[in-house]
Amino acid sequence: MKHLLSLLLLFSFTVVTAQEKSNLAKPNYHLASKFSPTKLGKLIFSTEVNPNWINFGDKFWYEYNTPQGKKWYLVDPKNKKKSELFDHAEMARKISSIVRNPFDAQHLEIRNLRFLENENLVRFEVQSTKDTVKSQEEIKKLTNKKDTIKKKLFYFEYNISNNNLTELSEESKDKTRLFWANFNPDTTRVYYAKNYNLYWMDYENFLKAQKDEKDSTIVEHQITTDGVQYYAWGGDEYSVTTGDKKSEEEEKKKRKPVWINWSPNGKYFTLTRKDNREYSALWVINNVAAKRPTLETYKYLMPGETDSTEAELYIFDSSTLKPKQVNIAAFKNQTISNWNKDRTKDSYKGKHYINYWLGNDEEFYIARSSRDLKRIDIVAVNVNGQTKTVLEERSNVYLDIKKPYFINNGNQFIHWSQRDGWGHFYLYNKNGGLVNQITKGEFHCDDLTRFNENTGTLFFRANGKEKNIDPYYSYYYSVSKNGGPIKLLTPGDFDHQVLASESSNYFIDNFSRVNTAPVSNLYSSSGQLIMKLEETDLSNLFAAGYKFPEPFKVKAGDGITDLYGVMYKPFDFDSTKTYPIIEYVYPGPQTEAVNKSFGRSMDRIDRLAQMGFIVVSVGNRGGHPSRSKWYHTYGYGNLRDYGLEDKKVVAEQLADKYSFIDINKVGITGHSGGGFMSTAAMLVYPDFFKVAVSGAGNHENNIYNRWWSERHHGVKEEITSKGDTTFTYNIQRNTELAKNLKGKLLIVTGDIDNNVHPANSIRMVDALIRANKRFDFLLLPGQRHGFGDMTEYFFWRMADYFSQHLLGSSEMNETDIMEMNREKPMK
């Protein structure tokens, strides 16, 4: 009898095990391959309207792509009129007859379209397949002098009023805009950097440079002479050496931009300078760069390291070109923000933009921030070198700052601050006297996009003001500078991305959620709908089997704080089956990797779900900056662990709610900060998180860049008995917990990542080896932080890894990744 009972129990266990196996989803490589980035380009077309405001006015044009082809539209908001910029079939006929390449209305390949000052005239370019000889200027620039043939580019001018299309000669084409050119206000001179020093040339010589930058007859005037690498007057902000002396010498001789700001009258300009020569270097070796691997050397300041020099601010008199250093010292290792005015119609002179300083002819404004970012001053600097602190911000955690917005002829400014725990606007007089608080309440104001001087109205974006709606949805509002009622201009339960005309009379609202098709409408400044512009056509996407993801709300680890996320299911989802859950993470704190509007996020989230997983992305306390200051700085001083509890309890809550989630099969993945966080999760909760794929993670934040690490974790400023100021920095590292690993971990990095240095991953590998752990490591040769042209390869290796260790799949026996091979372009 006992033997029979044992057999029955064994049979019962066998049946249950077989049933569990049949209920488990299987990896679906075919479904995931249907939504590769290449294929998505043929399934999703335009998702927003990007207006090109014509000559800084209220009229605009835009292009919009659909499964029916690309079209160009002209919109006149005042007259509520939208029309095609031209007859597309007629334009295709005219272009075909001139270019000698066939086009039709659905397949017009128009490039670089722009309006002239005469708003009836439009210029654009069309590429042909006709071979032509390169110009003498182009041939001069060639390293291979035999490469003299190019495909002919045709230049056209179209008259909207009479539909006349004219072919232009190559000589009459618009001159190339040289990125290094900084014009003075009357556009008679151009300023730039070369050999780490300041230079200028007159406009006549600038025109020569537009034709041929290597023209030996160009006359240049050197302003400074003491600039050197890493202590330059411009041109070496991201200076890298490779050991190739010839190429480095050529690089020094190239003209580069210099970030100078001008007084409105053109009598003065300013710039900042910093001596970085004593900073320690970092290196990456590019093993696949050329015949001989190259060593790249660059300066990199790590958290807690000594900084022996200070930022310098200079005022130049444009008549003498002599610099005068301004004494702006207040904090040790302070940061200087040398603000310039926003680019508007007033800063556009003679087809060139002028970088004006923020201020008037006699003074300008800067921000001065302490190294620990707990003290920030707004400072007025007079052209005579005198300074005056206009406003102070102080906090026990790090502060954020935005450029003030000057109004009323510069007599007042609008200041953004989180001093009451939320981001709000305050009105000050120019001397720093508070006039009134403009906005108030438990919501976060963000960018001030426009201000109407005539009505005294602010237009701004904000989050969290609309109750019972995802606080990350952005809305557009208006309010008087005197405060009072705030008017909602973009109603609806969507994320709203607004683009306003310079006059603030009109704005385009591009709105959607992750589970709605994007819509673009035109509104007046009062919020009145002028016209519906576009709705994204997703018919091809849905025909391929696409299904929208599902937003959700859960509680954080404290049981109080609401967290907002998105769940992505396989498009062949079967509620009778069980699925592992994978969390796609990025801890912030400067942002959260949770999509709020519809987009092309499918390469690492939607598409991963198609393999047979429930994939979720969700916020965590200490994440998104567009909530309260408490929420944003929750992780201050605990940058490794602060978000992990929330990631764990989210998976548990979802599994409690949905029976199709297998809480015993939890994976986690992320890139950069997400790579750091996914590995930390495996080590802090080793019995909960079973599998992780960690991309380019900053596993040791003590060797990551000073700005991000000290800002969000904190650095301690200490003053010795002698009055010296020093800084100490301590942070927990993933490597300290290597002994805790129980699950399966794949660490991935590019070998020339100059953002999160490969040492972060290699030190993690070293710690795991010394802890006698089995794990996996993938090095991507010649790739920087984003993995570049190996991103697709990384995706399939990630898919393999989760399929093998969460689904128990043994199907990855083929050497070739067939899903990639099938997408190779035809030759």
Q: Looking at the structure, do residues 204 and 134 belong to the same domain, yes or no?
A: no
Of the listed ranges 134-143, 371-380, 659-668, 797-806, the one predicted with least confidence: 134-143
Is residue 314 a part of any domain in this protein? yes
Q: Would you say residue 7 has pLDDT above 80?
A: no
Residue 354 lies in domain = 180-400
pTM assigned to the model:
0.93
Q: What is the DSSP letter of 343?
A: P
Overall size of the chain counted in residues: 827
Tens of pLDDT, residues 629-656: 999 999 999 989 999 999 999 999 999 9
Q: Looking at the structure, do residues 233 and 140 belong to the same domain, yes or no?
A: no
* Helices of type H across 604-672: 606-609, 629-632, 644-657
Return d(Cα 523, Cα 219) in angstroms, integer: 51
pLDDT of amino acid 145: 58
Tens of pLDDT, residues 382-433: 999 999 999 999 999 999 999 999 999 999 999 999 999 999 999 999 999 9
CATH number at residue 782: 3.40.50.1820
Of the listed ranges 17-21, 285-289, 620-624, 776-780, the one predicted with least confidence: 17-21
Average pLDDT estimate for 717-730: 90
Q: Would you say residue 14 has pLDDT above 60?
A: no
Strand partners, 667: 582, 691
Sheet holding 776-780, edge to edge: 550-555, 562-568, 614-618, 579-585, 661-671, 691-695, 744-750, 776-780
| CA 610 to mean position of chain CA atoms | 27
Domain termination residue (choose one: 346, 368, 400): 400
| CA angle (143 as vertex; 140, 144 as ends), nearest 5 | 100
pLDDT of amino acid 4: 46
**Percentage of the chain modeled with pLDDT above 70:** 94
pLDDT of amino acid 146: 61
Average pLDDT estimate for 580-589: 94
Is residue 96 a part of any domain in this protein? yes
Sheet holding 405-407, edge to edge: 405-407, 412-417, 424-429, 434-437
Q: Looking at the structure, do residues 230 and 128 belong to the same domain, yes or no?
A: no
Domain termination residue (choose one: 400, 421, 445): 400
Of the listed ranges 55-59, 247-251, 335-339, the one predicted with least confidence: 247-251
Closest CA to 200 of 210, 208, 190: 190
Is residue 522 a part of any domain in this protein? no
Average pLDDT estimate for 479-504: 97
Q: Would you say residue 10 has pLDDT above 50?
A: no
Tens of pLDDT, residues 430-458: 999 999 999 999 999 999 999 999 999 99
Tens of pLDDT, residues 350-364: 789 999 999 999 999
pLDDT of amino acid 21: 54
Domain termination residue (choose one: 172, 197, 213): 172
Query: At 195, which amino acid appears?
Result: N
Q: Looking at the structure, do residues 168 and 120 belong to the same domain, yes or no?
A: yes
Q: Looking at the structure, do residues 56 and 148 belong to the same domain, yes or no?
A: yes
Is residue 517 a part of any domain in this protein? no
pLDDT of amino acid 6: 45
Return d(Cα 682, Cα 678) in angstroms, integer: 7
Residue predicted with more confidence, 595 or 149: 595
Q: Would you say residue 9 has pLDDT above 80?
A: no
Average pLDDT estimate for 155-161: 97
Using CB atoms within 10 Å of the CB of residue 431, give its burial: 0 to 12 exposed, 13 to 18 middle, 19+ buried: exposed
Q: Would you say residue 154 has pLDDT above 50?
A: yes
pLDDT of amino acid 137: 63
Q: Looking at the structure, do residues 167 and 207 belong to the same domain, yes or no?
A: no
Return d(Cα 130, Cα 256) in angstroms, integer: 34
Q: Would you say residue 122 has pLDDT above 60?
A: yes
Return d(Cα 48, Cα 62) in angstroms, integer: 10
**Percentage of the chain modeled with pLDDT above 90:** 83
Is residue 811 a part of any domain in this protein? yes
Q: Would you say residue 112 has pLDDT above 90?
A: yes
| CA angle (641 as vertex; 637, 642 as ends), nearest 5 | 65
Q: Would you say residue 2 has pLDDT above 80?
A: no
Q: Would you say residue 313 has pLDDT above 50?
A: yes
Tens of pLDDT, residues 511-545: 999 999 999 999 999 999 999 999 999 999 999 99
Is residue 465 a part of any domain in this protein? no
Average pLDDT estimate for 36-65: 95
Q: Looking at the structure, do residues 274 and 358 belong to the same domain, yes or no?
A: yes
Closest CA to 258 of 315, 319, 182: 182
Q: Looking at the structure, do residues 94 and 184 belong to the same domain, yes or no?
A: no
Average pLDDT estimate for 240-261: 88
Is residue 422 a part of any domain in this protein? no
pLDDT of amino acid 139: 64
Judge contact between 378 and 404, C-beta under 8 A. yes
Of the listed ranges 33-42, 452-461, 784-793, the one predicted with least confidence: 33-42
pLDDT of amino acid 174: 77
Q: Which two tokens stand for residue 233?
A: 């007057």
Return d(Cα 607, Cα 329) in angstroms, integer: 52
- Per-residue confidence at 13, pLDDT binned at 50, 70, 90? very low
Q: Which two tokens stand for residue 119?
A: 């708003």
Q: Looking at the structure, do residues 153 and 198 belong to the same domain, yes or no?
A: no
- Number of domains the chain is built from: 3
Q: Looking at the structure, do residues 128 and 226 belong to the same domain, yes or no?
A: no
pLDDT of amino acid 175: 77
Average pLDDT estimate for 14-29: 62
Q: Which two tokens stand for residue 41?
A: 């380009």
- Per-residue confidence at 12, pLDDT binned at 50, 70, 90? very low
Q: Looking at the structure, do residues 71 and 209 belong to the same domain, yes or no?
A: no
Residue predicted with more confidence, 814 or 60: 60
Is residue 413 a part of any domain in this protein? no
- Per-residue confidence at 319, pLDDT binned at 50, 70, 90? very high
Q: Would you say residue 559 has pLDDT above 90?
A: yes
Q: Looking at the structure, do residues 141 and 186 belong to the same domain, yes or no?
A: no
Residue given tokens 């986690």 in the structure block: 668
CATH number at residue 274: 2.140.10.30
pLDDT of amino acid 316: 98
